[in-house]
């Protein structure tokens, strides 16, 4: 008897459970790479590093290079800690509240769709940015790394919901947890590079360029969000 293969979509589903299993074939590697790229694109679109650059530039305007560097590193470190804590405790919280995976897929997909609409229309909302009052409060803060940079700008509600959406599909697979967090850290590393290069990025792209990029990424996110809702509804109907 051999173990029953897990559900399609988890990384364990790429493992060959047959007696003659050997090295993974091209199809297996292709599916793994495809899954990794999908997760990377999803988090890149939700965190949206390019749109953070103008906000970071505004919040640190007038500060010395050393100050901007400290704020960039600290905001990424705090964001990483938030993601790790939420990845470990988020699924437990869902179980404690009695929320099913399919219900969270539908709700999370709708939340991401609202986020995508804000991105397409370049609107500021609490889902993807700080509110006007929060921005006014941040102007008087010397340390902007925790608020508003780490939360809600980087590890905001949309990004945390996305993390949980990806993880609940894997049914507590520790390997998948490590891989997803690795992808999140890769996006955060890219975000850090862009924050450190804020003056250069702003000269090249400007605010208009960042908004155009945000609109394009919003279209991609809307399609991914609808897919989550459709998957959740199909699973509920099939149950």
pLDDT tens readout for residues 11-60? 444 434 344 444 555 677 888 888 889 899 999 999 989 889 988 988 88
Is 15 part of a structural domain of the chain? Answer: no
Given a contact cutoff of 8 angstroms between Cβ atoms, the answer to whether 116 and 87 are in contact is: no
Is 3 part of a structural domain of the chain? Answer: no
Q: Which residue matches tokens 């370049």?
A: 122
CA dihedral 68, 69, 70, 71 (to 10 degrees): 50
CA distance 226 to 114: 11
Is 67 part of a structural domain of the chain? Answer: yes
CA distance 106 to 77: 30
Is 105 part of a structural domain of the chain? Answer: yes
Instruction: Tell me the chain's radius of gyration from C-alpha atoms.
Output: 19
Q: Tally the domains of the chain.
A: 1
Q: What is the pLDDT of residue 169?
A: 78
**Angle at alpha carbon of residue 210, lines to 226 and 110, rounded to 5°:** 20
Token pair belonging to 135: 């921005």
pLDDT in tens, 169-224: 777 788 889 999 999 999 999 999 999 999 999 888 887 887 788 888 888 889 88
CA distance 170 to 100: 14
DSSP 134: H
Structural domain that includes position 127:
22-238
Is 5 part of a structural domain of the chain? Answer: no
Burial, 45: exposed, middle or buried (Cβ in 10 Å; 0-12, 13-18, 19+)? buried
Q: What's the distance, Cα to Cα, between the start and end of the chain in Å?
A: 28
How far is Cα of residue 19 from the mean position of the Cα atoms in its chain? 38
Is 61 part of a structural domain of the chain? Answer: yes
Is 91 part of a structural domain of the chain? Answer: yes
Is 6 part of a structural domain of the chain? Answer: no
Separate counts of helices (H) and strands (E) for the chain: 9, 0
Stretch 124-138: mean pLDDT, rounded? 60
Given a contact cutoff of 8 angstroms between Cβ atoms, the answer to whether 92 and 99 are in contact is: no
Q: What is the pLDDT of residue 20?
A: 46
């Amino acid at each position: 008897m051999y173990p029953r293969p897990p559900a399609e979509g988890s990384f364990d589903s790429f493992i060959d459970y047959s007696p003659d299993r050997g090295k993974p074939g091209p199809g297996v590697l292709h599916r793994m790479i495809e899954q990794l790229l999908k997760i990377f694109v999803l988090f890149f679109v939700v965190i949206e590093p390019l749109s953070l650059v103008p906000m970071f530039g505004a919040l640190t305007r007038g500060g010395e290079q050393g100050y901007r560097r400290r704020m960039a590193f600290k905001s990424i470190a705090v964001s990483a800690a938030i993601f790790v804590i939420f990845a470990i405790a988020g699924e437990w919280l869902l179980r404690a509240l009695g929320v099913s995976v399919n219900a969270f897929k539908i709700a999370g997909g709708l939340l991401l769709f609202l986020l995508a609409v804000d991105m397409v229309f370049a609107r500021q909302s609490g889902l993807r940015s700080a509110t006007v009052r929060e921005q006014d409060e941040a102007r008087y803060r010397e340390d902007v790394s925790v608020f508003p940079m780490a939360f809600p700008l980087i590890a905001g509600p949309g990004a945390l919901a996305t993390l949980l959406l990806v993880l609940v599909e894997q049914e507590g697979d520790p390997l998948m947890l490590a891989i997803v967090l690795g992808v999140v850290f890769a996006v955060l590393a890219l975000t850090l590079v862009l924050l450190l290069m804020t003056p250069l990025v702003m000269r090249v792209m400007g605010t208009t360029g960042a908004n155009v990029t945000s609109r394009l990424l919003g279209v991609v996110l809307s399609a991914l969000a609808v897919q989550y809702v459709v998957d959740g509804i199909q699973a509920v109907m099939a149950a």
